[in-house]
Amino acid sequence: MLNYIWAAMIIVGILFGAINGNMKEVTEAALDSAGEAVSLCIAMAGIMALWVGLMEIAESSGLILRLTNGLSPFISFMFPGLPKKHKARDYISMNIIANILGLGWACTPAGLKAMEELAKLEAERGTPGYLDDSKGAGGKRERIASNEMCTFLILNISSLQLIPVNMIAYRQQYGSVNPAGIIAPAIVATFVSTAVAVVYCKVRDRH
């Protein structure tokens, strides 16, 4: 659906520019935006390479392991049905740590791995209804997300951030006088969103 919305917006913009005789401006804006997008990607690639490298160093030094152990009580609280030694716990912890550090791109691999492990766990449990008997698109049965999957997804979206690296990089790229000025508002906003997410997940677990 989102692809259709973007396509419609682009087509309407081009038609509007053509009708009003502003095709030159539309073309220049498209070319300028393309060049700006490439510059932004290069800048973000360097920043993410730095932080991902730091994460690798932290993992090699044992810091990530200590942080993961520190998150263990929280993981047990949020995922009471998740076995203590299950691989998903490590991936969930790494995802949360990356999110707290504002490494949205770096946390994606851990998030995907966590979802894979949670899916395997449901398959091992043989949870009734894990495969929906109702036919979805194309006549195929659809997988139903488990409680752990939904909880992890909500936590990942709300994601408490202490250092919003991506936002700081964007603000610096676009000439902000104080790129780090977003830190305090980001901490408050993400703390509230995470608190709401935790309360929501625990309330839904009771039903």
Per-residue pLDDT tens over the stretch 96-131: 888 887 776 667 778 888 888 888 888 877 655 444
Average pLDDT, the chain: 78
The pLDDT score that the predictor gives to residue 134 is 46
For 2-30, what is each residue's pLDDT tens digit? Answer: 788 888 888 888 888 788 777 778 788 77
The pLDDT score that the predictor gives to residue 112 is 85
Report the candidate in 54, 48, 55, 38 with the shortest Cα–Cα distance to residue 165: 48
According to DSSP, the β-strands at 131-135 and 141-143 are antiparallel
pLDDT at residue 132 greater than cutoff 50? no
Residue 149 near residue 123 (C-beta atoms within 8 A): no
Tracing tokens 């259709």 back to the chain, one arrives at: 4
Beta bridge partners of 141: 135
pLDDT at residue 138 greater than cutoff 60? no
For 47-89, what is each residue's pLDDT tens digit? Answer: 777 777 777 787 788 877 787 788 888 888 888 888 887 888 8
Whole-angstrom CA distances from 47 to 55, 170, 186 are 12, 11, 19
The pLDDT score that the predictor gives to residue 106 is 67
The pLDDT score that the predictor gives to residue 64 is 72
Q: What is the mean pLDDT of residues 186-196?
A: 88
For 84-99, what is each residue's pLDDT tens digit? Answer: 878 888 888 888 888 8
Q: Cα(185)–Cα(179) distance, rounded to whole angstroms?
A: 12
CA 158 vs. chain centroid, Å, equals 9
The pLDDT score that the predictor gives to residue 105 is 66
The pLDDT score that the predictor gives to residue 133 is 45
Secondary structure letter of residue 141 according to DSSP: E
Q: What is the pTM of this model?
A: 0.65
